[in-house]
Amino acid sequence: MESESRKLLLLAPILLLCLCCSVGISGAQSYIGVNYGEVADNLPSPDQTVKLVKSTTISKVRLYGVDGGVIRAFAGTGVSLVVGVANGEIPAIAADPAAAAGWLAGNVLPFIPASTISVVAVGNEVLESGDAALAAALLPAMQNLRAAAVAAGDGAAGIKFSTVNTMAVLAQSDPPSTGAFHPEVTAQLQQILGFLSKTSAPFMINPYPYFAYQSDPRPDTLAFCLFQPNAGRVDTGSRIRYTNMFDAQVDAVRSALGRSGYGSVEIVVAETGWPTKGDPTEAGATVDNARAYVSNLVAHLRSGAGTPLMPGKPVDTYLFALYDEDLKPGPASERSFGLYHTDLSMAYDAGLTTTATSGGNGAGASVQQPTKGGSGWCVASAGATDAQLQTDMDYACSQVGVDCGAIQPGGACFQPNTVRAHAAYAMNQLYQAAGAHPWNCDFRQSATLTSSNPSYGSCDFTGGQ
């Protein structure tokens, strides 16, 4: 063991150097992806889209089908792609291995290895479609495509084959420890999970706290969904206190997988997002809420905290969506999930952009690091009550990267021993750790930004920066 430890110590600087180089080259983060929907008549060109993606920390793009122009545009960029088999193509591929080989030859093989295709999503929300025949064809189609990829060899052999599901495949998800798949899909899902486990492919799921908020009337639900300060919700089965809906939904899926005997299958969040606008009946569909959800989710993923049932590893997450899609049917929210407008302007700042170190096209970009104290300090607002501040303080101190030791008895900031003073310290710690963006100092309007350093005596609000 001693010799192995010495080897690890010698390798550490090399690994760190490699990590720094990879961040410096692209600024990409392996767990953040985006959905590229194309139900629109005003989309930017593929080349413009590639330039936009390369100016962010996004490293994965999911297409809902196969678009040769888009796939070619991403060639040589290092951005990995998910491509999709349309639901209507599934029966033929399931019925005939030659059809599967033909689909692969026409939609994947011409583009690799120049473009990186990591996953083929066979169908979208098939198990929840209500079409029993289509659902029955899903696994054979996945098996035939996988066999065709293995036969093709080289780059194709490493592609994973999965399918995308909504949270409707769960019959139970609250609390997370009771997560279980719906009896109507359990039999087919058991076989699919066996295939995913055998081929090391992910289980792809679409958790949307936005929709959970619309169906959950509890007063703290919006804050719980937006990663904002809240009292949390205790899972009566596991005794875990959840502080956000995203973790709760993902852990419900993890519980369901475990209950099915496939707890080791990787989870990939294929879609999640929040609309910037909606119809009058669509509560919560606003730019401010979209910014809060997505920026706080990105910060949560970057923290490396994972979820309570999967600690220490961020879940690969594809944000929905890159652009607004003006031709989508349904309520206004369906056309308003874009991180960017189709004129390439931001719908809101989600904290995904990089700072170019050379050139202006994202080449040689590196992740922009927040400067502690660089955007002021976050302190308790004058109108906030002690009850509000106590909730905010408890929430802030429970988050990864926040150290509240200074406001414990004997700590440098324990005096004055008041809720207001302690909350100000805790809220500022979270504000700085999250990146010091203005929206990180919202706390349901119980906090405010100040340009005056609130440090006093040995109590340092700047973290020594």
Encoded amino acid at 219, one letter: P
How distant is the alpha carbon of residue 284 from its chain centre? 20
- CB-based burial label for 13 (10 Å; 0-12, 13-18, 19+): exposed
Query: Cis link prior to 175 (omega < 30° from 0)?
Result: yes
Closest CA to 256 of 207, 296, 320: 207
Query: Mind telling me the catalytic residues?
Result: 125, 271
- CB-based burial label for 410 (10 Å; 0-12, 13-18, 19+): exposed
Tokens of 428: 């500022």
Rounded CA-CA distance 432/213 in Å is 28
Closest CA to 176 of 241, 93, 269, 106: 241
Rounded CA-CA distance 453/460 in Å is 9
Query: Which stretches does DSSP call E strand in 91-216?
Result: 116-124, 160-166, 170-172, 180-181, 203-206
3-state SS assignment for residue 449: strand
Q: Are 352 and 55 in contact (CB under 8 A)?
A: no
Rounded CA-CA distance 457/323 in Å is 49
Query: Which stretches does DSSP call E strand in 325-402?
Result: 354-356, 365-367, 377-380
DSSP string, 259-281: HTT-TTSPEEEEEE---S---TT
Q: Which residues contact 109 (CB under 8 A, 6 or more apart)?
A: 152, 156
Query: What Rg, from alpha-carbon coordinates, does the chain have?
Result: 23
